[in-house]
Amino acid sequence: MSGTSAALTPPADARPPVRHPDAPAPGEPLGAHYDQCFGCGGGQPHGLHLEARAGEGVSLTAEFTVHSAHQGAPGLAHGGVLASALDEALGSLNWLLRLIAVTGRLETDFLLPVPVGTTLHLAAEVTAVAGRKIYARATGRMGGPDGTVAVRADALFIEVKVDHFVENGRPAEIEAAMSDPDQVRRARAFEVNP
């Protein structure tokens, strides 16, 4: 991305990302990390219901369709919703690293208006890792995976421990997630965003 801030430029000692050996195989759906997540959860009636699939390396593809509940200007997606879609896709990359991380910084460029009814095709990848910092970028295209770029973002995620969520989340939701007998669902509930 042109104009990316220094905070989103990996340091000289950053290393390439390494896909975790237990990460879903390329083409496999990543699924929702938490049912009540606005970005990917099925329990949110006006959420994005973003559907992500693992790609090669530490990358993924995802789709979401802009509905009338997502509009800002009449007939067009709200910019905050588009930023949320990019953030959700970028955050889901951490599942391929098997790290718990939160968004530290997100810079978004809005290139074209996105009409209601449009399916936005997202592609995201981790570009570098430096200590607890994870650098990533994403694009959102209209008209298909090779269509016109409408939005793009660069992001910095910070690896955290599950305590970050336990100490800051609402107790009822934290307790429900922590008591889930499914180990994978329990781990995924804490994978992205504070």
Q: Would you say residue 186 has pLDDT above 90? A: no
Residue 10: both structure tokens together: 């990996």
User: Sign of the C-alpha dihedral, residues 7, 8, 14, 17?
Assistant: positive
For residue 172, the 8-state DSSP code is H
Query: In the numeric block, which tokens belong to residue 99?
Result: 């790290």
Estimate to the nearest angstrom the gap between the alpha carbon of 81 and the chain centroid.
12
Q: Name the band, by pLDDT with cuts 50, 70 and 90, for residue 192.
A: low
pLDDT digits (tens, 9 = 90+) for 134-173: 999 999 999 999 999 999 999 999 998 655 555 555 566 6
Torsion angles phi and psi, residue 107, rounded to 5: -115, 125
Spatial separation of the C-alpha atoms in residues 27 and 61, rounded to whole Å: 9
70-122 pLDDT tens trace: 999 999 999 999 999 999 999 999 989 998 899 999 999 999 999 999 999 99
Percentage of residues in the chain having pLDDT higher than 70? 81
Assign 3-state DSSP to the chain and report helix, strand, coil percentages, each to 5: 25, 30, 45
Cβ atoms within 10 Å of 49's Cβ, excluding its own: 18
Q: What is the pLDDT of residue 1?
A: 45
pLDDT, tens digit, 9 for 90 and up, residues 50-67: 989 999 999 999 999 999
